[in-house]
Structure 1
């Protein structure tokens, strides 16, 4: 199998290019692009991101599969400390052109989707596959929505003291009764 070609970020591939043969890409956004992705995903930072993506012809569309590797920095929900997490994930999806007779036809309602089955194919808006967009989307799916630093323990804060005007009067009365 040929080595993947390093592609610029962001990366879009014409569907017609995949029809002519498999496309193998290596994607690696630079520091400024990683900073923008981190902001988009609500991360403290994105220290590293790389992906190897393979596009092959499927029906009248394409199958997009790959491996992404990242180092993300998130804020712990229990301690508010920032911590780094490595991510190593595989992804696989199928795309079809908008005018495809194979595209899912149901709009809303009972879609008859099998929760254990494969995801339905994505329908492209144009004639290009947003490869970098799919990498970011699958990175987002790998993030823990409630990040917790390894070993972090949530400590229940003390109950708030009563701060009503009556509590103030109660403390004055208590002080008067003592005096």
Structure 2
């Protein structure tokens, strides 16, 4: 796995928002082998075999809208058996940004407001990596795999008083 340098983007494709316009422009991205290795390291995955995306960006003076689709294939580690497994991500997404922070808002309104994007450039590669991290299964598990805990745990959990019951000759019905 390739280590990424601090502050070095794993996958970048910056666009100038002024060239997009309100009617929108479509971009298609595909990460190369080196970029996929850096993305895998960032996402703590053994490997990313494919990362493609298509995004339609529209921008006005006050807002930016991103509508896209992500298509990815990656190798993950099963949380139950620790074995490598394949995960496929194919998902549509939409993101809205404001160009300037809104005037005063309540705390509740602030939580629901779109993120603010400052500057005239937008990194579509970084957006795609962020969407991949959100779409990945947080607990990847191979189908039909028994967890290590299930395989090696005692069959039932006994009470510390279970031994006393057997010494005293009492069971659950005769206490």
TM-score range, shorter chain: 0.7 to 0.9
RMSD over equivalenced CA pairs, Å: 2.2
Gaps (5+ residues) in structure 1?
A: 1-8, 160-179
Deviation at 1:137, TM superposition (A): 0.7
Contact 1:104 1:121 in 2 (8 A): no
In structure 1, what is the Cα distance between the partners aligned to 2:92 and 2:22?
Answer: 25
Cα distance in 2 for residues equivalent to 1:157 and 1:106: 57
**Preserved contact between residue 45 and residue 73 of structure 1 (Cα < 8 Å):** yes
Structure 1 stretches of 4+ moved >4 Å:
none
**Aligned twin of 1:96:** 98
For 1:127, the equivalent position in structure 2 comes to 120
2:109 to 107, 112, 124: 112
Distance in 2, Cα, partners of 1:113 & 1:153: 44
How does 1:40-79 map onto structure 2 within 5 Å?
Answer: 40-58=42-60, 60-79=62-81
Instruction: Give the unaligned 5+ runs of structure 2.
Output: 1-10, 155-175
**Normalization by structure 1: what TM-score?**
0.71
Instruction: Provide the rounded CA distance (Å) in 1 between the counterparts of 2:131 and 2:104.
Output: 24
Compute the TM-score of the two structures, normalised by the length of structure 2.
0.72
